[in-house]
Structures are given as structure tokens and as C-alpha cells.
Structure 1
Amino acid sequence: MKFMVDKEALFRRLAAEQLEPISGLDKLCKWVEDRGLKRAAVTNAPRSNAELLISMLKLEDFFEVIILAEECARAKPFPDPYVKALNALQISPNRTFVFEDSVSGIKAANGAGMPAVGMASRNPEQMLLDAGATFVIKDYNDPKLWGNLEEIVQQKLPL
């Protein structure tokens, strides 16, 4: 247990020194806010890590709901955290999209009926596609993302 506590403390120290937002995050957040879309952070991270990262990225006021795996019966890859977010936001899974950087997260989102955009920030693109990602992007400036978002807007497809 001490090893786990020390590991998480080291993560928080390194994150505080080195964390940089993924390129295009501000642009995506503005797009989401301009459309009045509901939003949640769903994470398997411990509360202290999640709060630190959200604060460092200045997203405290962006997310309406924060769902931690420790608050659910089962963590990702089970859909429970995403189902809890859907219930908290009172939205249908077919009106959502998720950004995920892990295989377990993509499987959890898909298990809750939610399409997932894979973030190839720490896992290979093919691994994320094999897990069920709708498509994979390197960052939030990726033309694939904006092409799909534009299609949603033009066709008035449900989010």
C-alpha cells in the first residue's frame, strides 16, 4: 500500500512540474461551451490526481460533473463510470461523444453505448481502434476531429 501511495505522490509531483495541455484543448472547450453541451470528466484516477490535473488545466469550471471510478461499483473497463455520468447529466448515450486515451476507457464508453474518440497520446493508434475507438486523433487540432464535428453541425446529427 505504501508503494501505491508513494507512486501517486510522485505522479502528482511530476505532473505539477511537467503537465502541458494537449494541443487544441482550449479550442475544443470553447466549441463545446459555445454549443451549451453538457460535459463530465470520467476517470479511474484517484481523487487527488484528478483534482490536481483538472485544476492545472484550468477546467474546474468546464466540467459539470466529475465521476471517479472509486465512487462506482466497478471501474473502467466496465461501463459503470460512464453510466453514472449519463445519469448525472440526464442525457442519452446516443447524444454523446467521449475522448479516451486508454483501451479500458474506450471499452467502458462503448459498453455504455457511447462512441469514443481515441487519443493517441500514450497508446498506439491501432490498439485504440481495436478497442473500439470510432477514430483516433493525436491532439485536439487534428483535422479528423474537426471534420467530424463539422459534419455533426452541418447535418444536425445528434451528439
Structure 2
Amino acid sequence: MLTALLFDLDGTLTDTDTLHLQAFRDLLHEHDGRALSQEEFEEKVSGQANTQLFAQLFPELSPTDRQAMAERKEALFRDRSPTLQPLPGLLRLLAHARRSALGLCVVTNAPRLNAEHMLRAMGLEEAFAKVVVADELSRPKPDPLPYLTGLERLGAAASQALAFEDSVPGVTAASAAGIYTVALSTTQTPERLLAAGAQLVIDDFDDPRLWALIDARSEP
């Protein structure tokens, strides 16, 4: 029986990659005039936790300065996103979850300030009482620990859950945690998501294949 739904945040609940790309471009331009292409962003940045990502982007900086750069980038992102739109079908899925008493949890590599900001910007802060922030754990995605932590907080087994992801690190993490993983093709190609371990790839939460899966997993 299905008892829990676990969601990534960026690119899964709402499509934010363009906003993050622009924030990174602003940051890199300010710092050293560096450019960042869409392809580089999708391959090297999307879905990565800030600790590792900023070490890769700024190897010459101290950890303290990298943290300051990460905070600057996230502030640029928040400034660009006063309001955000949930992906099509998400509100329908959350309403179904409430009716069916399914546990809900956000599992994200984003910093907590971003997570709280984004849920407020979508008007969904009340829907997700449980938010797992990978930066607050010993290992972020693509390690399965964030999703295993989400399952623990919901009191759910992996076999009772569905995970929703859009990035390769996220799909890798959810799949490694043993959760049936549904990928949204907002930031990556279906082929890359399937290769990372996704069992179903959809455009949005209105996809009939998702609802057929939910119906099948809800039968006693």
C-alpha cells in the first residue's frame, strides 16, 4: 500500500532552473567575468549540493569564502523568485494525498532558507511540515541518506513510497534508497533520467501514467 510521497524541490515542485541559471551567471560575472552555458549548467550544476558544487566552481577560495559565495548566489535566486508556480497537476496530487492520508516530505539539496522561501512563494508551506535539507546531513544527494532520512521521518518503508525527482543526483539518491522513482523531465532528458534509475519519466503531475501507478499502488 502507498503511504508516503517524497518530493525534490527545484525542478520538481516548481520549474526554477532558469532562475538558478541566471543567478549563477550573475554571480560568476560579478566574481571573474566567467560565462556559464545552459549545457554546462545542466551537466555540472543542476541538482548538486552547494558544498561540493562551490568547491568545484571556486577551488581557489577558502571554505569561508565559498560559503559566502553560495549565500550570495542563493540571495540572488530568492530575489528573482518572489512568487513561484507549482508544476501542473501538483495541487491535484497534494489534494489526493490529503484525502488518502499519505505522508508528505520534501527532500532537497537546496539550503533551508531557499526551501522555506520556495514553499512560501508557492503557497505550500502548510502542505509540507517535513522538509529534509541535505546540507544538514552528513551526505547529500546522490547519496541515498537524504531519502532514507525522509522515510524515517515519515515512518514509511521504501516499498510504501514514491519519490519525485528531476535531476540525475536526485534520481540516483532516491533509487539507491529503494524507492520507486518518478522523474520529471523539466531539467534533463528522459534518457538520462532513466539511465540514472528512474522507473517512470513524466512531463508533469497530470500524466495519466502517474495516476495509473498511484491507483495500482493504492489497492489493498
Contact 1:38–1:64 (8 Å) recurs in 2: no
Residue 126 of structure 1: how far off its partner (Å):
1.1
Question: Matches of 1:88 and 1:4 in 2, distance apart?
Answer: 28
Shift of 1:150: 2.2
Q: Distance in 2 between matches of 1:145 and 1:33?
A: 17
Contact 1:118–1:128 (CA<8 Å) still a contact in 2?
yes
Q: Distance in 2 between matches of 1:51 and 1:31?
A: 23
2: distance between equivalents of 1:52 and 1:43?
Answer: 13
Name stretches of at least 5 consecutive residues in structure 1 with no aligned partner.
none
Alignment of 1:62-73 (within 5 A): 62-73=127-138
Pair 1:7-2:70 in alignment? no
Letter in 2 for 1:3: M
What percent of counterpart residues are identical? 37
8 Å Cα contact 1:79-1:112 kept in structure 2: yes
Q: CA deviation at 1:46?
A: 0.6
Q: Which moved more, 1:59-68 or 1:132-141?
A: 59-68
- For structure 2, the 5+ residue unaligned runs are 1-65
Q: Deviations over 1:56-83 (max 9, x none)?
A: 1222121231100112110000011111
Partner of 2:151: 86
User: Please, what is the CA RMSD of the aligned residues?
Assistant: 1.3
Post-superposition offset of 1:47 = 0.8
Q: Distance in 2 between matches of 1:127 and 1:133?
A: 9
CA distance in 2, matches of 1:76, 1:129: 17
Q: Is the 8 A contact 1:100 1:117 kept in 2?
A: yes
Query: Structure 1 segments of 4 or more deviating over 4 A?
Result: none
TM-score (norm 1): 0.91
Structure-2 residue corresponding to 1:23: 88
Q: What is the match of residue 5 of structure 2?
A: none
Is 1:139 matched up with 2:204? yes
Deviations 1:9-40 (A, max 9, x none): 111112225x2210111101011111000111
Written as runs of structure 1 = structure 2, the 5 A alignment for 1:7-156 is: 7-16=73-82, 19-153=84-218, 155-156=219-220
What TM-score does the superposition give when structure 2 sets the normalisation length? 0.67
SS at match of 2:131: strand
Higher gyration radius (CA): 2
**1:69-126 C-alpha deviation (Å, 9 max, x unpaired):** 1121100000111111111111111100011011111111111111110011111111
Ranked by relative contact order (alpha carbons within 8 Å, sequence separation 6 or more), the top structure is 2
Aligned residue-pair number: 154
Distance (whole Å) between structure 2 residues aligned to residue 14 and residue 122 of structure 1:
19
